[in-house]
């Protein structure tokens, strides 16, 4: 314990600034990860809903094409 206090006396300001910088970098890193995750989730939901609309349109088009093929086959 005494050695730790002596180290703090000797390197006090430098250690405090180093710890503060490391803490700030830690906070910034995890803040960035959270924000990227949230933005990705929002974008994923938007693209997913657009894809569902495209799938619906394609299935409707497929049905119309199948009806047209059946009519051509019958004639």
pLDDT digits (tens, 9 = 90+) for 25-44: 999 999 999 999 999 999 99
Task: Please give the share of the chain, as a percent, with pLDDT higher than 90.
Answer: 53
Q: Report yes or no on whether pTM surpasses 0.85.
A: no
Average pLDDT, the chain: 87
Q: Which residues contact 15 (CB under 8 A, 6 or more apart)?
A: 7, 8
Cα(22)–Cα(16) distance, integer angstroms = 10
Looking at 19-23, 42-46, 48-52, 68-72, which range is the least confident one?
19-23
């Amino acid at each position: 314990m005494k050695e730790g206090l002596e180290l703090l006396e000797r390197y006090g300001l430098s250690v405090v600034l180093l710890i503060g910088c490391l803490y700030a970098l830690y906070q910034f890193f995890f803040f960035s990860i959270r924000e990227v995750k949230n933005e990705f989730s929002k974008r994923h939901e938007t693209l997913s809903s657009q894809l569902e609309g495209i799938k619906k349109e394609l299935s409707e088009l497929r049905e119309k094409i199948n009806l047209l093929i059946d009519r051509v086959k019958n004639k």
